[in-house]
Amino acid sequence: MRLFGIKAGVCALVVSTSIVVHAADNSATVESQPQRDIAIALAKFESHKGNQDAALLALEQASVIYPSDDNSDRLVFKADLLVSAGRFEDARGLFGQLMGQKSKAMKLMQEIALPLAELNFANGDCSKALRLLKVKKNKTIEQRQQSFFIRATCLVASEEMNLQQLTDLDQQMQDFLSEVDRSEITLWSAYGYYNLALSALNAGMITEAGSFFEKVFQYIDSAALADVRTVEEGRALRERALLTVAGAYFASSQYGLAMEYYALLSIDGYWNDKALLGYGWAAFNNFQRGLALESWRQLAYLPNKSMSVYEGLLAIPFALEKANAYSRALVAYDGAIEEFDIALAQIESLKQSLSVDDIRHHALEYFDSRGRSIKPLHPLLGYTYTQPKFSASIKRIGEVVSTQKKLEAQKSELGVLAQISGWKRGVSTVQTSALESQVNKRLKGFFAEIVNLREVMISEAVEEGRVDKEFLGKYNRYLSLRRISTASSGVGSDRLAKLQGVLFWQMLEQSDYPRERLTALNELLSLHDRLLKRVEGLKEIVTVVDRDRPEVAELAVLQQRIDRLNVENRKVAAAEEQYLLGLTVAALDEFVVVLDSYQKQARVAGARLREEFYQIGGRRL
Partner 1 sequence: MVNYKNKILAAFQCFLVCLLPQFSIAEESVEQNALDTQVQQLRKEALDLQRDIGLLEKELLFPPLTRVEVYLSVAPGLEYSLRSVVLEIDGEERSFHIYSDTDMAALKVGGVQSFWEGNVALGVHQLIATFKGADVKGRPLGGEAKVEFKKGKSGLALELQLLAGKNKKTPKFAVKSWGER
Indicate whether 549 belongs to the interface with partner 1 (CB under 8 A).
yes
Indicate whether 60 belongs to the interface with partner 1 (CB under 8 A).
yes
64, 68, 74, 75 alpha-carbon torsion, rounded to 10° = 90
Measured from the CB atom, the residue of 51 and 485 that comes closer to partner 1 is: 51
Q: Which among 104, 52, 125 is positioned nearest to 83, based on CA atoms? A: 52
Q: Which of 562, 603, 610, 613 binds partner 1 (CB under 8 A)?
A: 562
Measured from the CB atom, the residue of 288 and 569 that comes closer to partner 1 is: 569
**Distance between CA atoms of 185 and 189, rounded to whole angstroms?**
7
Residue 117 in contact with residue 136, Cβ under 8 Å?
A: yes
Residue 250 in contact with residue 256, Cβ under 8 Å?
A: no
**Distance between CA atoms of 577 and 361, rounded to whole angstroms?**
10
**Distance between CA atoms of 265 and 261, rounded to whole angstroms?**
7
Indicate whether 206 belongs to the interface with partner 1 (CB under 8 A).
no
18: buried, middle or exposed (CB in 10 Å: 19+, 13-18, 0-12)? middle
> Could you tell me the smallest distance in angstroms from the CB atom of residue 242 to partner 1?
12
Amino acid at residue number 453: L
Measured from the CB atom, the residue of 267 and 420 that comes closer to partner 1 is: 420
> Could you tell me the smallest distance in angstroms from the CB atom of residue 43 to partner 1?
8
**Distance between CA atoms of 111 and 83, rounded to whole angstroms?**
13
Q: Considering only residues 397-456, where is the footprint of partner 1 by CB under 8 A?
A: 399-400, 403, 406-407, 410, 413-414, 417, 420-421, 424
Total residues contacting partner 1 (rule CB under 8 A)?
Answer: 97
Amino acid at residue number 203: A
> Could you tell me the smallest distance in angstroms from the CB atom of residue 207 to partner 1?
19
Q: Which of 281, 340, 504, 591 binds partner 1 (CB under 8 A)?
A: 281
> Could you tell me the smallest distance in angstroms from the CB atom of residue 230 to partner 1?
16
Measured from the CB atom, the residue of 312 and 507 that comes closer to partner 1 is: 312
**Distance between CA atoms of 187 and 148, rounded to whole angstroms?**
11
x/- letters, 104..143, toward partner 1 (CB under 8 A): -------------------xx-------------------
Phi-psi domain of 489 (left: phi exceeds 0; alpha: psi -120 through 50; beta: other): left
What element of type H or E holds 47?
helix 38-47
Q: Which of 79, 156, 265, 381 binds partner 1 (CB under 8 A)?
A: 156
Measured from the CB atom, the residue of 45 and 614 that comes closer to partner 1 is: 45
Q: Which among 374, 382, 379 is positioned nearest to 346, based on CA atoms? A: 379
Amino acid at residue number 592: V
Measured from the CB atom, the residue of 261 and 504 that comes closer to partner 1 is: 261
Q: Considering only residues 339-378, where is the footprint of partner 1 by CB under 8 A?
A: none
**Distance between CA atoms of 137 and 107, rounded to whole angstroms?**
11
Q: Considering only residues 73-92, where is the footprint of partner 1 by CB under 8 A?
A: 87, 89-90
**Distance between CA atoms of 364 and 35, rounded to whole angstroms?**
44
**Distance between CA atoms of 435 and 152, rounded to whole angstroms?**
75
Q: Considering only residues 517-536, where is the footprint of partner 1 by CB under 8 A?
A: none
Indicate whether 574 belongs to the interface with partner 1 (CB under 8 A).
no
Phi-psi domain of 253 (left: phi exceeds 0; alpha: psi -120 through 50; beta: other): left
> Could you tell me the smallest distance in angstroms from the CB atom of residue 383 to partner 1?
9
Q: Considering only residues 448-507, where is the footprint of partner 1 by CB under 8 A?
A: none
Question: Which residues contact residue 451 at a Cβ distance below 8 angstroms, ignoring those fewer than 6 apart?
Answer: 497, 500
**Distance between CA atoms of 608 and 602, rounded to whole angstroms?**
10
**Distance between CA atoms of 114 and 129, rounded to whole angstroms?**
8
> Could you tell me the smallest distance in angstroms from the CB atom of residue 204 to partner 1?
15
Measured from the CB atom, the residue of 298 and 410 that comes closer to partner 1 is: 410
Measured from the CB atom, the residue of 494 and 611 that comes closer to partner 1 is: 611
Amino acid at residue number 465: G
Q: Considering only residues 595-614, where is the footprint of partner 1 by CB under 8 A?
A: 601, 605, 608
Measured from the CB atom, the residue of 456 and 607 that comes closer to partner 1 is: 607
> Could you tell me the smallest distance in angstroms from the CB atom of residue 409 to partner 1?
9
Q: Considering only residues 298-327, where is the footprint of partner 1 by CB under 8 A?
A: 307-308, 311, 314-315, 318
Question: Which residues contact residue 313 at a Cβ distance below 8 angstroms, ignoring those fewer than 6 apart?
Answer: 300, 332, 335, 336, 339, 340, 598, 602
Measured from the CB atom, the residue of 122 and 462 that comes closer to partner 1 is: 122
Q: Which of 168, 338, 408, 568 binds partner 1 (CB under 8 A)?
A: 568
Measured from the CB atom, the residue of 297 and 561 that comes closer to partner 1 is: 561
Q: Which of 250, 261, 279, 504 binds partner 1 (CB under 8 A)?
A: 250
Q: Which of 16, 65, 103, 553 binds partner 1 (CB under 8 A)?
A: 65
Q: Considering only residues 15-54, where is the footprint of partner 1 by CB under 8 A?
A: 21, 23-28, 30, 34, 36, 38, 41-42, 44-46, 48-50, 53
Distances (CA, A) of 315 to 24, 296, 542, 602: 58, 8, 86, 10
> Could you tell me the smallest distance in angstroms from the CB atom of residue 345 to partner 1?
23
> Could you tell me the smallest distance in angstroms from the CB atom of residue 525 to partner 1?
28
Residue 277 in contact with residue 315, Cβ under 8 Å?
A: yes
Measured from the CB atom, the residue of 49 and 361 that comes closer to partner 1 is: 49
Indicate whether 154 belongs to the interface with partner 1 (CB under 8 A).
no
